[in-house]
Structure 1
């Protein structure tokens, strides 16, 4: 197809100082007259193609349009292409894609990407990311409803400062006017976001503090927990507890040992284990087994009136 040939020719010109019309014609198995028409089309698209006369003449692209290959090696280019491609897909960033196309000119020949980042999600989620990025760039105040890790629902007015991708989730960092301080907000807990017409002056930003709601409280005791998972749930268990000590058994099951940093904060673990149904069991401690039994009892009461 002509479009594929034109794109390939652009990369050829970017990767070579000068290449003759006959060489291009041989490569793409077309006539030199066709190559001349293709060069005219590429030039019309705004790419500065130069014609060189003489025995060693041909076509090339002016050096100021090319990226200096001494600045980046092939590994650097591939890494940047991976990151920028992932971001450009989420944010529909044409400038990022232009950069990707330029980086591809110094990529290894026929290199297949060894990494692929998919940093987005549902189209509405991606739209939220784009709206937030625009608000950050334009320095406009935003309002939204937010559910905190304490399950408190509040309305926030925020001067957005930056977006952060961490632990497979996006976070917004900005100055919260209700709290009169910088705060971090998990995007999955944001709803009814509105971009206001009000602009703000950028404040001196504090480094974001990663708050762990399960972090051990000062003076609280830790506790060792032993969990057993059936063969049917190994993959899901490793997704949740991938950095913990594990033991595989002959029947295909697995036990995982972890340490709760705060023995008083076990609700999160109970909720995770309930998602496994009958495929997970608390071996120890007995107090945690009892807590799970009590939770199951309360759940049964919700449906106790049903026949």
Structure 2
């Protein structure tokens, strides 16, 4: 722990003009006397630490003393800082914050960030993310209620192994003890999450997650063709950015979307109905019938309005 503290102090001094001994002592939960000894060790190691007197005094590195940017090769330092800052905000990760401070000691050619990252944590409770991160690091079983795509609610015990951010949502991958298999769960559908005190051992060989399963259904995709009015272009393109698009002289667009079993894909129905009169399904005909039935059911709810 002492070596880790010494390294952290070095980077903090490199990244700040002046840091006082009381501030360092409070941050690292040691006495000021220990900080004084640490500073002596850092100086003995060849780092040019300068002591400043007065009410705003403390310790700092000699002006112009910086780390060599070549340590990171061709990486864009500002971009790395931006991504790590987003992660440290979501997870309150002190280690990520420490890495940020080390990166900030490296001089960069451009001060304006070239990248901005928003992980949209308002969609998922940050506390749930932090709990899952803690359970992964501490290898603790998590228990939660889960609502699947069929709207069935079950209680799950899980050995969480990895967090993913994809398709604008957070997912957790791990071993589901309830189903005795590796599964992926969407965090927005997880309810009443809590960490148990039971721990689990390491998983030395993890199965391939989505890659192998993707290959199985790649050949079973069916094209969904929709006609999009000029007033709904942006909304539809946001939802299906990779789909084939054909624009027409009147400002409308025809979009072809490959979907696995579209007649059973309730998530697709919800999206298409959300476009209102701005989009019309042309193919397959059976999907048109399903959407018409869904609209009729919705209208019945408002017959008395």
SS in 1 for 2:162: strand
Q: What does residue 251 of structure 2 align with? A: 252
- What is the CA distance between 1:79 and its match in structure 2? 3.3
* 2:215 is the alignment partner of 1:238: no
Residue 121 (1) aligns with residue 121 (2):
yes
- Give 3-state SS (helix, strand or coil) of 1:106's partner: coil
Tell me, yes or no, if the aligned pair for 1:217 and 1:262 is still in contact at 8 Å. Answer: no
How much has 1:239 moved relative to structure 2? Answer: 1.0
Measured at CA, do residues 280 and 141 of structure 1 come closer, stay the same or move farther in structure 2, by a change above 3 Å? same
The answer (yes or no) to whether the contact 2:160–2:175 under 8 Å persists in 1 is yes
1:161 match: 161
Q: For residues 107 and 203 of structure 1, what CA distance do their matches in structure 2 show?
A: 40
Residues 149 and 213 in structure 1, CA contact (< 8 A), matched pair in contact too: no
Structure 2 matches for 1:8-23, cutoff 5 A? 14=14
TM-score by length of structure 2 reads 0.73
Paired position in structure 1 for 2:186: 186
Quote the residue 1:60 is aligned against.
Answer: 62
Deviates more, 1:208-217 or 1:125-134: 208-217
Give the superposition deviation at 1:258. 2.6
Q: Deviations over 1:226-249 (max 9, x none)?
A: 211222211110011111111223
Alignment RMSD: 3.5
Please, which moves more after superposition, 232-241 or 252-261?
A: 252-261
Task: Compute the displacement of 1:116 (Å).
Answer: 1.2
**Do the aligned partners of 1:140 and 1:199 also contact (CA within 8 Å) in 2?**
yes
Closer, same or farther in 2 for the Cα pair 1:62/1:183, shift >3 Å?
farther
Q: Which residue does 2:267 correspond to in 1?
A: 268
Alignment match, 2:286: 287
Extract unaligned runs of 5+ from structure 1: 1-9, 16-37, 53-57
Are positions 1:152 and 2:142 aligned together?
Answer: no
Contact 1:120 1:126 in 2 (8 A): no
- Aligned pairs, how many? 265
What TM-score results when the alignment is normalised by the length of structure 1?
A: 0.73
Q: Which runs of 5+ in 2 are unaligned?
A: 1-9, 25-38, 43-47, 52-59
C-alpha separation in 2, matches of 1:129 and 1:299: 35
Aligned ranges 1:201-240 → 2 under 5 Å: 201-210=201-210, 223-240=222-239
Of 117-126 and 43-52, the range deviating more from structure 2: 43-52
- Displacement of 1:152 in angstroms is 2.0
Q: CA-to-partner distance for each residue in 1:94-148, whole Å, 9 max, x for gaps?
A: 2212211221222414421111112241296111111111111122211100112
